[in-house]
Amino acid sequence: GVAAKIAPSMLSSDFANLASEAKRMLSLGADWLHMDIMDGHFVPNLTIGAPVIESLRKHTTAYLDCHLMVTNPLDYVDPMGKAGASGFTFHVEVSKENWQELVQKIKAKGMRPGVAVKPGTPIEEVYPLVEGENPVEMVLVMTVEPGFGGQKFMPETMEKVQVLRKKYPSLDIEVDGGLGPSTIDVAASAGANCIVAGSSVFGASEPGQVISLLRKSVQG
């Protein structure tokens, strides 16, 4: 479906208080919690992995939307499944050879498979993954170079969202990077329905108002 899903990126939260930060976001209206898994290799930053997802899972039943910015996503499927991840979004750039096996294993572990594209990656690369007999259920269009929160939204990525939305009317299309009150309208009108927002939510004096504003823009 194309219901709005507002997903605060916990990368911008206080990692030392992850459980309470997660509960705060959910109480303010977040639909999903976006969890950025980085390996210091696919991207030049290192964040959290399955052990932290497992710890957080003990404190919440929320949908944990896990974005795997890692070179070897296949290695993460079992641990993330056991840890209680809900969505498992891997990058197409590192999965050209084994995406079918990846999707199959992600589903077998009870997670929802998604595929992500960096700003420089042509959107055509995800078509086989969306159209296959064992399809991914979400496409994440990166709207910044992956690796860090707080970067500037790249409007040129919106063409990919438009093309995807036209081709797949009911696909979940997620955008991630630089989303906030000043950029949500272009992303929503291009057709994005799952909205990741880190610094714009956590940096706001009223994060709940930002979450509502993002939702209103998507719902129209």
Catalytic residue set = 36, 176
| Distance in Å, CB of 35 to ligand DX5, minimum | 9
Tokens 């040129």 appear where? 156
**Under the criterion CB under 6 A, does residue 113 sit at the interface with ligand DX5?**
no
Considering beta carbons, is residue 134 or 182 the nearer one to ligand DX5?
182
Considering beta carbons, is residue 12 or 83 the nearer one to ligand DX5?
12
From the list 25-33, 42-50, 160-168, 169-177, the region that binds Zn ion by CB under 5 A is: 169-177
User: Under a CB-based contact definition with an 8 Å cutoff, are residues 31 and 63 in contact?
Assistant: yes
Residue 64 binding: pick among Zn ion, ligand DX5, none (C-beta 5-8 Å cut-off by kind): none
Amino acid occupying residue 27:
S
Burial code of 62-75, b = ≥16 C-beta within 10 A, e = fewer? Answer: bbbbbbbbbeebbe
Candidates 176, 179, 183, 191; binder of Zn ion (CB under 5 A) is 176
Task: Please give the backbone phi and psi of residue 20, each rounded to the nearest 5 degrees, phi first.
Answer: -75, -35
Q: Which residue is nearest to ligand DX5 (CB)?
A: 198
Residue 197 binding: pick among Zn ion, ligand DX5, none (C-beta 5-8 Å cut-off by kind): ligand DX5
Considering beta carbons, is residue 93 or 128 the nearer one to ligand DX5?
93
The pair of structure tokens assigned to 11 is 């990368």
Candidates 42, 66, 67, 136; binder of Zn ion (CB under 5 A) is 67
SS3 annotation, 153-175: CCHHHHHHHHHHHHHCCCCEEEE
**Under the criterion CB under 6 A, does residue 8 sit at the interface with ligand DX5?**
no
d(CA 214, CA 204): 13
CA 16 to chain centre: 22
Helix, strand and coil content of the chain, in percent to the nearest 5, comes to: 40, 20, 35
Q: Binding mask 129-148 vs ligand DX5 (x if CB under 6 A, - otherwise)?
A: ---------------x-xxx
Contact residues: ligand DX5, CB under 6 A = 9, 11-12, 34, 36, 67, 144, 146-151, 176-179, 196-200
